Amino acid sequence: MKNILITGASAGIGSACVRAFLDAGWRVGLMARRMDALQAVAQGHAGAVILQGDVTSPEDVARCFGGFVAQAGRLDVLFNNAGSFGRAATIDELGYDEWRQVVEVNLHGMFLCAQAAFGQMRRQAPKGGRIINNGSISAHAPREGSVAYTTTKHAITGLTRTLSLDGRPYDIACGQIDIGNARTELLEGIIAANPANPPPTMDVDHVGRAVLSMAELPLEANVQFMTLMATKMPFIGRG
């Protein structure tokens, strides 16, 4: 049985990916802060391992990764997914604490989880594994009023590229999925704010299948960057 740890597993893209991997027969570690939400996602699945913790806490990350490996024996894949959008505002309207909260989750949290996964994959026998970072279309073309989110997602692209290079001697592959307009709780708020002109969307379960396809590749192959988006999004050109 292959093993994956998914952060931000209690809702949205994370929970969709949990379902996809459990249905495919993987053992899945579900890491998030809300125990009740994690229990709801994991209910009825023998392969689900609940890991309550905060990705911005080095102690929580060490405990959750260590606990999962103690049960699973090794870590084959990390889906580094936990993220926060924050309040929509221009840079002069955004408070420093609001900026820092988004950076803590989207950058520091993803660093801590990638660090824990990389170290485990480097040490385990046989060595190796795969880290999949959740980037965003905002790493290429941002929404208005998203300075904190967009800045961190550009940083994740740098993290992905660096891990890809540093992981080669240890058979650690790293790729990134950039997602646009999957129907999650976050997007529902954007739709509700634009009832007369709702954005094009896609079912979030498509993301689960895409991440699974990336994870199931042998380590000799890697999807370096995947863009998965609602077909009619105004992302390509001016259409």
SS (H, E, C) 73-135: CCCCEEEECCCCCCCCECCCCCCHHHHHHHHHHHHHHHHHHHHHHHHHHHHCCCCCEEEEEEC
CA distance 158 to 176: 10
What residues are annotated to the active site? 149
CA dist 30 → 110, 133, 198 (Å)? 15, 16, 32
Q: Hey, how many other C-beta atoms are within 10 angstroms of the C-beta on 236? A: 10
